[in-house]
Structure 1
């Protein structure tokens, strides 16, 4: 009997060490969704090439992301977890979709303009990023794509390109996905008060510990109110971070301390340090053990890639046929890639 589970698709770039903003903005939701459908999660290493041209770093970051996700609770028995580059069909589909994509559609890309404004050098990969993202989504017949509000336009582009392909070739070859806008927690502040982001170099990494974690937590920017003065918790970066980790009782307690006075930012930072350290302790221990055996982690990715290629080929085969792309090699050639 055919599964009635919805196919869920999401990815994350290996562009640096994962941080609290990644966890609360995406990773936590990914872990929840693996319980709710036929989930495909990929490490988007091709996408990272648009801004990272250091092969050693990209290789290492890809393994780091795999270690992080597995330690945090990603279960390859419950989902398909793999590296984007292990599915060559996604690049095939990206090219075909690109031949149907108006330049004007790419020129309207908000994400592209934002990245250029942040200082990234413009390149064709960055410009056509939404086309590769559309291929990522469509190649697995995705039903639901959980994204933040900033990615909504790219999902609309994916829907538009799927509909365009189906119209041009006269059939329902590509499933049109539904966006699922993740109602994220409030913006996770970095140590400088801006949104936590690798591009701002203001992050607290998920697996920071010991002196490194303490140094970052103690450097979170606050105002200059004295110890004895009452303080406004709702305008404080430290309290905003505490709320991500603490239960309701602890949040109320810390809030009252802020408002009463006699409670310094140093006290709040020590509270935050303890919360962060305790919250990720189990995952930190798991990551330490996984890191001892990277070959097993790579094997998990290989198996995920194998499963992903099988699904991708089932979508790509009729797409090639209707587009008139004749292949003179056996499809098993790509299925055996590691």
Structure 2
């Protein structure tokens, strides 16, 4: 509809791009080059972030860390992260460590090295979770503030949505008229 040529997509959604490509190619074969053939753009660097229980993070699984929640709620979610039963003082591996997987998605290289050492030195899971909470709270605080600012200004959000919808409607109207014309249905007046 909007003739996108490149679509950012997660690895688990590639099949949707493939279906879209198939439909666009079939239509173009019959009616001429109307639709762009989209390419999925997959960021190889960004892996699927694990949820609190180790499965893919998903709102439907109820295992998310809400990015824009307040600090207290963030701490509550971080403390729910599933860990093994190793005691404080026992060395812990960063391999297959859910907490570490989340930590390294937000941490600098030096912070990652430090957390790996802490795990090897037997940090308690509670202390490791506190370190993760502090990192997340620091990393997300400016985004949380901006989110709160935007959410408190409903007239601005309404205007942005109205303007975007109007621009999208104009493009869609033009493209639908072109599509209807080539398949012999007339235009949308």
> 8 Å contact 2:50–2:56 — kept in the other structure?
yes
> 8 Å contact 1:143–1:176 — kept in the other structure?
yes
Alignment partner of 1:305 is 2:154: no
> 8 Å contact 2:177–2:186 — kept in the other structure?
no
Alignment deviations for residues 309-336 of structure 1 (CA, whole Å, 9 cap, x no partner):
2222232221111112235x63xxxxxx
Alignment partner of 1:218 is 2:93: no
Q: What's the CA shift for 1:228?
A: 0.9
Larger Rg: 2
Distance in structure 2 (CA, Å) of the matches to 1:182 and 1:156? 17
Alignment deviations for residues 112-166 of structure 1 (CA, whole Å, 9 cap, x no partner):
xxxxxxxxxxxxxxxxxxxxxxxxxxx1111111211222222111111111112
Query: Given the two structures, how large is their TM-score scaled by the length of structure 1?
Result: 0.53
Q: Secondary structure at the match of 1:272?
A: helix
Alignment partner of 1:167 is 2:43: no
Distance in structure 2 (CA, Å) of the matches to 1:179 and 1:210? 36
Alignment partner of 1:204 is 2:75: no
Alignment partner of 1:249 is 2:110: yes
Q: What's the CA shift for 1:184?
A: 4.8
Residue 233 of structure 1 corresponds to 94
Aligned length: 189
What is the RMSD computed on CA atoms of the aligned residues?
A: 1.5
Alignment deviations for residues 18-44 of structure 1 (CA, whole Å, 9 cap, x no partner):
xxxxxxxxxxxxxxxxxxxxxxxxxxx
Alignment partner of 1:195 is 2:59: no
Distance in structure 2 (CA, Å) of the matches to 1:282 and 1:305? 28
Residue 268 of structure 1 corresponds to 128
Which one scores higher on RCO, CA 8 angstroms, separation ≥ 6?
Answer: 1
Query: Structure 1: which 4+ aligned runs deviate by more than 6 Å?
Result: none
Alignment partner of 1:319 is 2:179: yes
Residue 294 of structure 1 corresponds to 154
Distance in structure 2 (CA, Å) of the matches to 1:228 and 1:197? 33
> 8 Å contact 1:222–1:265 — kept in the other structure?
yes
Gaps of 5+ in 2: none
Distance in structure 2 (CA, Å) of the matches to 1:187 and 1:172? 35
Q: Secondary structure at the match of 1:204?
A: coil
Alignment deviations for residues 71-116 of structure 1 (CA, whole Å, 9 cap, x no partner):
xxxxxxxxxxxxxxxxxxxxxxxxxxxxxxxxxxxxxxxxxxxxxx
Alignment deviations for residues 49-81 of structure 1 (CA, whole Å, 9 cap, x no partner):
xxxxxxxxxxxxxxxxxxxxxxxxxxxxxxxxx
